Structure 1
């Protein structure tokens, strides 16, 4: 069985090192690259990783979103967003645009390997409290839709 290939893209070297330290001993998972900014993250997609661990704050400049470009350049790569804290709206927006996973850094030790495996298998990974917010957002959208 081929290993799950992973690229770690985070502006903080300590955060990249933590992910690497947690994933290195995991059987069936291989880190194939690292990136410290949005441009390097985009370049690393040429490696065609199955999973991209992406710092939510990375971009290609002040007004250029990184996620749509990554999806165009490497459509087979599944993204798991990593964050310390972010607005619910920003996370929900990313999930609504096809990001299958979101993980808070404080949960890395407990859930990183599991999240990588499940997202690679086609499942989503979001914290429980985010699921409730997603349901509320869908409900609000449904209630606003014409024909209701």
Structure 2
């Protein structure tokens, strides 16, 4: 039986390229493309597929939001994240939200095909380097939702006072949050915190339209 695949990615060249990677496989086919999460969900409402290859970086609703909606409305559809984001927080959030696989763009054709087949067969697929990053996660190295908010404002160059006003908390509380962020990300200053936050996926500079 042919594995029906929907590709959701906002870059047309990427969609065509991924479809071409599957073209030589008789057991799978890219049956549809979508440039946004909304378009992907609309397609799924009328034409269920076996596998969705989903980018996290999308205009409109995010890839993570799209993933949650697919899980809610189409629980039998299996999703593989295919993205440029390789931070452990991105992987953790995606798997927690229901993704069955996680791949980084630029992968060999053999890896993509193997992942699709394994996930379609009921398994999960996460490359070894990403699995190791997940294994190294501890409560002491992760940020809370509030700390992520503070980190985002640090990336915007806001002062402690400005962050406090924006979040409705005292400046002294902001200082405590910043101190915790530096400790958990194992850095010495705010700039380093932003860099590591981006690397690990606690922060993204890209904002969907």
Q: What TM-score do the two structures reach when normalised by structure 1?
A: 0.84
SS in 1 for 2:110: helix
Q: Which residues of 2 match residues 73-88 of structure 1 at below 5 A?
A: 73-88=73-88
Q: Which residues of 2 match residues 10-89 of structure 1 at below 5 A?
A: 10-46=9-45, 47-58=47-58, 60-61=60-61, 65-89=65-89
Match of 1:110 in 2: 110
Give 1:59 deviation, angstroms: 5.9
Q: Per residue, is there more strand in 1 or in 2?
A: 1
Matched residues in 1 for 2:91 and 2:117: separation? 21
Residue pair 1:82, 1:105 contacting (<8 A) in 2 also:
yes
Instruction: Detail structure 1 runs of 4+ shifted over 4 Å in the superposition.
Output: none
Mean Cα displacement is larger for which, 90-99 or 45-54?
Answer: 90-99
Matched residues in 2 for 1:11 and 1:133: separation? 27
Q: What TM-score do the two structures reach when normalised by structure 2?
A: 0.61
**Structure 1: any 5+ residue segments left out of the alignment?**
142-148
Match of 1:146 in 2: none
Please provide the CA RMSD for this pair: 1.8
Q: Which residues of 2 match residues 135-146 of structure 1 at below 5 A?
A: 135-137=135-137, 140=138
SS in 2 for 1:79: strand
Q: Which entry has the higher C-alpha Rg, 1 or 2?
A: 2
Match of 1:144 in 2: none
User: How many pairs were matched up?
Assistant: 137
Q: Deviations over 1:90-139 (max 9, x none)?
A: 221111222110111111423111111011011111111111122233xx
Q: Deviations over 1:64-88 (max 9, x none)?
A: 8221111111111110101123432
**Structure 2: any 5+ residue segments left out of the alignment?**
140-209
